[in-house]
Amino acid sequence: MNILKRVFGRKSPKLFFLGLDGTPHTLLETLAGEGVMENYARILEQGSSRRMETTIPDISSVAWSTWMTGTNPAKHQIFGFTDLKPASYKTYFPNFQHLKGSPIWAVLGAKGKRSVILNIPGSYPARPMSGALISGFVAIDLAKATFPAAHLPFLKKIGYRTDVDARKAAEGWDIFFEELHDVLRARREAIFHLLEKESWDLFVAAITGTDRLQHFLWTAYSDPEHAHHQDFLDYYRAVDRLIGEIDRAIGEDHPLMVMSDHGFTDLRHEVYLNCWLEQQGYLKWKVAPADRTDMQAMAPESRAFCLDPGRIYLHVKGRHPAGCVAPEDYRALRDEIETKLGALSDPGNNDAPVIRSVRRKEDLYDGPYLQQSPDLVCVPHDGYDMKGATRETELFGNKQFTGMHTQHGAHIFVRGHEIEKATPHICDVMPTMLRLLDVEIPANVDGVSLV
């Protein structure tokens, strides 16, 4: 193919990296083995794959930030989809401007190498870089998501969207599947447009429709009798066709990595930890549930609160504007809450334990932003999704989702190499990519090369 002869004609190493957001290792291995993903089954024979662990918490904004920097949240400063504004109780959505540290394409750019980055969550707004960047979720303005701007007319022409419109799910599942396939079609066109128009050393493309499908319709996969079981499989067949096209374009002799940023499983209940903190007497509100939009509704005498997903913060003097927990009382209060959370059970499920572990910040994170991190993070048992909702009055509930993220069960594949670590972590992926591109790994990176 002429495109790739030009790209791979030079002697310097190249790497194509494909992200399948939220697609668990077991699902990919199963669909490859059952013939649903025939192209990926063939590719798996050309390298090494492993089940991988991801960040705590296991959400895309944190996971992809760790992937792109190779560092933990106390170094890159992204702890969740939402956070509190400094000296405030008002929440905001951290974006690429809040990321600390250098993403992999900046590291490569400093070495004279070019990257194409397409649809990575947490990369909005697009910054100038050596190559091309089309931001992913959450990107509210395609123009601000596109660098260089010369690619914008083409993206508009093909109806490119940075994410699936989740509102389509409420209009009917057939409409939702149409949306999934339409977004995937445009993503494919953008990939091959950028392959044609840009020269690159690293090409990164992410498919996020996989995550959206599984949140709404994981039961369509786990239950073969589900009315949309075949539709679920057909979407993965479409993803597999794209994988095959990419593989034919770059050629099987060239490096290829495939990764998912977290695992997935059936959702039994959402667990509203602010409700639990209120029941236990740690959290009080100034207003009625319907009027609580964020933590501005919290009463100043509150001693702890929760932000999504399962991040517990003690209301400490000096850290929060109206903090009431004295520094000398911090450890005793944290130990108390940690112990009680560990005993939380589900009475509707034979008192099954809800939380697998409660992790302290100093055991999870290490870096200059450690003091901004949550004091405790709850890692749930499969089936229980920790939430920081402010309006809920019952501990357990269910909304529209049938699937949830897991910290275990992500996927990593490297063609042409044996993965040397039995259980890789997502922070190992960035240094692995640099190793494959013959670029020195920065000293502040937390992960290690897997090859």
Note if the bond before 138 is cis, omega within 30 degrees: yes
- Please list, in sequence order, all residues whose beta carbon lies within 8 angstroms of the beta carbon of residue 89, skipping any fewer than 6 positions away: 294, 295, 296, 298, 320, 321
Residue 2's pLDDT band, with cuts at 50, 70 and 90, is: very low
Sheet holding 146-147, edge to edge: 47-52, 410-415, 256-259, 15-20, 202-207, 115-118, 131-134, 146-147
Are 164 and 183 a contacting pair, CB within 8 Å? yes
How far is 411 from 404, CA to CA, in rounded Å?
16
Q: What are phi and psi of 215, to 5 degrees?
A: -60, -45
Rounded to the nearest angstrom, the gap between the alpha carbon of residue 309 and the centroid of all alpha carbons in its chain is 12
Residue 420 carries which side chain, given as an amino acid letter? Answer: E
* 240-253 pLDDT per residue, tens: 999 999 999 999 88
* Mean pLDDT, rounded, for 426-433: 98
What is the DSSP code string of 171-205? H-HHHHHHHHHHHHHHHHHHHHHHHHH---SEEEE
Does 8 score more than 70 pLDDT? no
Are 183 and 209 a contacting pair, CB within 8 Å? yes
* 153-204 pLDDT per residue, tens: 999 999 999 999 999 999 999 999 999 999 999 999 999 999 999 999 999 9
How far is 1 from 164, CA to CA, in rounded Å?
31
* 376-415 pLDDT per residue, tens: 999 999 999 999 999 999 999 999 999 999 999 999 999 9
* Mean pLDDT, rounded, for 249-259: 91
Are 246 and 18 a contacting pair, CB within 8 Å? yes
Q: Cα 168–390–91 angle (5° rounding)?
A: 80
Does 5 score more than 60 pLDDT? no
The CB-side HSE value for 350 (13 A sphere, CA atoms) comes to 0
* 307-352 pLDDT per residue, tens: 999 999 999 999 999 999 999 999 999 999 999 999 999 999 999 9
- Domains of the chain in start order, with CATH, are 2-267+404-436 (3.40.720.10), 269-397 (3.30.1360)
Q: What are phi and psi of 124, to 5 degrees?
A: -105, 140
CA proximity to 398, closest of 383, 412, 410: 383
Residue 228's pLDDT band, with cuts at 50, 70 and 90, is: very high
What percent of the chain lies above the pLDDT cut of 70? 98
Are 53 and 410 a contacting pair, CB within 8 Å? yes
* Mean pLDDT, rounded, for 437-446: 97
How far is 94 from 85, CA to CA, in rounded Å?
10
* Mean pLDDT, rounded, for 197-219: 97
* 410-429 pLDDT per residue, tens: 999 999 999 999 999 999 99
* Mean pLDDT, rounded, for 16-32: 98
Are 258 and 411 a contacting pair, CB within 8 Å? yes
Q: What is the pLDDT of residue 252?
A: 81
Q: Is 54 helix (H, G, I), strand (E, B) or coil?
A: coil
Tokens of 373: 């991190």
* 39-91 pLDDT per residue, tens: 999 999 999 999 999 999 999 999 999 999 999 999 999 999 999 999 999 99
Tokens of 443: 């000293």
